[in-house]
Structure 1
Amino acid sequence: MLPEHTLASTSLGGQVLGSGRVKADISLEEEADLFEIVVTAENGTKRTYKILLERDEAALPPSESECSKPSAFTDIAGHWGETSIIKASCRGIVQGYSDSSFGPDRRVSRAEFTVMLAGLFQWEGAETALLFGDMAGKNHWAKQAIAQAAAFGIVSGYPDGNFRPEATITRAEMAVMIAKALKLPTDTDLPTAFADHADISAWARGAVASIHQLGIIIGRSDNRFVPGGAATRAEAAVMLLRIAEIKKK
């Protein structure tokens, strides 16, 4: 606190704030801002103090640290997943299309969900050449994310050796990818607690049980998992945000 001398003054960024006790509201325009405070004593002596203020994202409430700007997507206003889509977009987990739409009710393709996972987990290195028959030698837009996911053992192709990037991802496939990315148990003997447990393929049951226990994925009507069903882009955004919260802990 500065001494209370009536002839003393203080200025911030060249703007005189007044004398005596000084209070000012400061807005951070960037991630870090350097401020100069000049204190002029009664005898005219000046001293300059430099203060570096940095924004601590972790200390801010989620609504401020994740995103406080209006959505740039043109088709999510009023949608049940609007808030989650905005948060996921601000975190770099999901992206929209070139026409500024998000397509919240569109089905998620295998390539799209792989890219979403890559945006969440920020994979680095471990990239390998794509050996999938339908992607080898092609410059697919999701090539890097798919290559990294394959190198980490998170995705695999079909028995015919293809990846089918544009095919709609099933809820069972999504569950397995999530479980592998989080290094969760995928033992086939884990109970899933879903009414349609018998419809879940053995290769997916452990993964479904693991992510269900964490609340990442929930059932649909009548407590059914619907393993062969598709997920929408809005549903995927919600699930990925749940994963992000788990990763924080």
Structure 2
Amino acid sequence: MPPQQKLDRNEQRTRGDEGRGGRRPLALASGLALAATTVLGTGLASAQEDEQDLPYERGIAAACTAAAQSSDPPAFPDIADTPHRAAIECLARWEVVKGRDAGDGERRYAPGGRVDRAAMASYVARALAPGTYEFPPREDGDPDAFPDIVDVHVPNINALADAGIVEGYPDGNYHQTRSVPRGQMASYVARAIETVTGTELPSAPGTFPDEVPVHQENIDKLAAIGVVQGREDGTYDPQGVVTRAAMASYIARSLDYLAVLGLHPVPYEVELSAESDEQPANLRHRFDGQVLDQFGRGYFQADVRFEVHRETADGYQVVNSGEIVSGLGGELDFSYLGEAQAGDVDHVAACTVGANEDFEPDATACAAENDDGELEGHDDRGTTIVTVGWTEPVEPSVAEPDEYMVEAIAVDTSAGLLYVQTITPDRDFLEFGYDVNNDFQVEGQDTDAYVFGCAVEATLDAGAQHSMSILLEDDGTGSYALATAADVDACW
């Protein structure tokens, strides 16, 4: 097998924010051609709207990758034990939630805290920012939408008011410090979704027995798409208070709905290139690339699978595979050890995968052989295939105990690395070199030139036969000697 690398009743109004149930959605923003199609770039076919028993809980796999749903350590230190952790992590990735200053240098999420109307506006506005919707522009000097709004949430309250998502109360004020109840929350979220899609959401009337006259239409809409499920007793509890933890799940599920429609970024395609077309069969091929979303922007924390399909007499065989996560800007960087024969040809396929997908090592998730015997990438996963070859293995020099200043064989100088055979029988190859600051390394431990020299001198005097350390020059050659991390520690 290949290796696996509850709200006060006096807030219910007959008009304004507390008085609108359903609403006529705004016209679809220009340039949203993707709204009519489901984005399948990450294998999200399973996330499409199927007939469901109501109420049901939709997932968040389209909105956030597996990497974005769980970080180590957690995005905030106080969310580890909440069942809403994945959603909070998801929104932290999209910079929808930023936590609260705890006064000790850390930011905490306070998952049990209440959500007020000011924070609610910021949740919604930030959630829509990465997608296709553009809020109506504001000019300098434009008056605020409401006379009573203050602090950091003002721009987001203004944005939602300009978009028609919030209208305030009959007295003309927004009342930003009032808590958001579950019924009102549904109206915020449903209006936001309809503003982005330009279409009215489906509805599931009768899902909950405790209906209310004010927000019921929007509650029914969110039930229809799996954003709200209700309490354990089957009621919705529209006057119940919304916690910050629960709000994260409402928002994340809403983003999932938009992502399936192509209106929120998803990992869409992979670009990949090899650092060299050929490598000695006992070394590594290295690759870099980028994951892009459907708008051509780099996608951070995308889950990516790579498969090495080797040409054999019986067709293509997956000889290596693994999963990696894209870095900032969507960057990718990975390698694999050949374990090949000279003349072997590999086709390396890289593709985006869904957060809930799991594969066998030899699975052909990214590419497979077609009826014509050719390897073909799966378009619905944004697959890229790069072909590389293998040449005769190199025979690195072996240091003798009394040798020091000899020329190292530069078999792979990418990123300042060499692969040099050691004289330790049970270890074939070790990786040495210098980092971007030209610091020396011994067995992966950073050191400086003085300590490096000290360690080398000590081992030479002792005639030790440890793993080798490399001093790499600009031309790809260098000096190597016998030294270990233990020797470095002694020299400090």
Normalising by structure 2, report the TM-score: 0.35
Shift, 1:234, TM fit: 0.5
Moved more, 220-229 or 72-81: 72-81
Where 1:105 maps in the other structure, the secondary structure is coil
Equivalent of residue 158 in structure 2, options 127, 136, 147: 147
* One-letter amino acid of the structure 2 residue matched with residue 90 of structure 1: R
Can you list the C-alpha shifts for 1:29-71, whole angstroms capped at 9, x where unaligned? xxxxxxxxxxxxxxxxxxxxxxxxxxxxx76992235664422
Indicate conservation of the 8 Å contact 1:192/1:206, yes or no: no
Instruction: Determine the structure 2 residue equivalent to 1:74.
Output: 77
Instruction: Determine the structure 1 residue equivalent to 2:18.
Output: none
Shift, 1:243, TM fit: 0.9
- For residues 66 and 129 of structure 1, what CA distance do their matches in structure 2 show? 39
Indicate conservation of the 8 Å contact 2:115/2:243, yes or no: yes
- For residues 68 and 148 of structure 2, what CA distance do their matches in structure 1 show? 41
Instruction: Determine the structure 1 residue equivalent to 2:246.
Output: 235
Q: How does 1:1-249 map onto structure 2 within 5 Å?
A: 62-64=65-67, 68-99=71-102, 100-122=107-129, 123-127=134-138, 129-135=143-149, 138=150, 140-183=151-194, 185=200, 191-197=205-211, 200-201=212-213, 203-249=214-260
Instruction: Determine the structure 1 residue equivalent to 2:383.
Output: none
- For residues 180 and 105 of structure 1, what CA distance do their matches in structure 2 show? 25
Shift, 1:72, TM fit: 3.8
* One-letter amino acid of the structure 2 residue matched with residue 129 of structure 1: P
Can you list the C-alpha shifts for 1:78-102, whole angstroms capped at 9, x where unaligned? 2222222112111212120112110
- For residues 195 and 149 of structure 1, what CA distance do their matches in structure 2 show? 31
Can you list the C-alpha shifts for 1:129-164, whole angstroms capped at 9, x where unaligned? 3242322xx4x2100000000011101211222111
Indicate conservation of the 8 Å contact 2:69/2:87, yes or no: no
Structure 1 unmatched ranges of 5 or more:
1-24, 26-57
- For residues 72 and 248 of structure 1, what CA distance do their matches in structure 2 show? 22
Where 2:88 maps in the other structure, the secondary structure is helix
Shift, 1:169, TM fit: 0.6
Shift, 1:186, TM fit: 7.7
Indicate conservation of the 8 Å contact 2:227/2:250, yes or no: yes
- For residues 176 and 164 of structure 1, what CA distance do their matches in structure 2 show? 16
- For residues 69 and 77 of structure 1, what CA distance do their matches in structure 2 show? 10
Indicate conservation of the 8 Å contact 2:204/2:224, yes or no: no
Check 1:80–1:67 CA distance in 2 against 1; reply closer, same or farther (3 A cut): closer
- For residues 158 and 71 of structure 2, what CA distance do their matches in structure 1 show? 34
Say which one has the larger Rg.
2
Indicate conservation of the 8 Å contact 1:173/1:204, yes or no: yes
Indicate conservation of the 8 Å contact 1:106/1:232, yes or no: yes
- For residues 217 and 196 of structure 1, what CA distance do their matches in structure 2 show? 14
**Cα RMSD for the two superposed structures:** 2.6
Indicate conservation of the 8 Å contact 2:70/2:86, yes or no: no
Check 1:205–1:233 CA distance in 2 against 1; reply closer, same or farther (3 A cut): same
Check 1:115–1:156 CA distance in 2 against 1; reply closer, same or farther (3 A cut): same
Q: Which has the higher helix share?
A: 1
Shift, 1:171, TM fit: 1.1
* Matched residues, number: 186
Q: Which has the higher strand share?
A: 2
Normalising by structure 1, report the TM-score: 0.67
Shift, 1:124, TM fit: 3.7
* One-letter amino acid of the structure 2 residue matched with residue 78 of structure 1: D
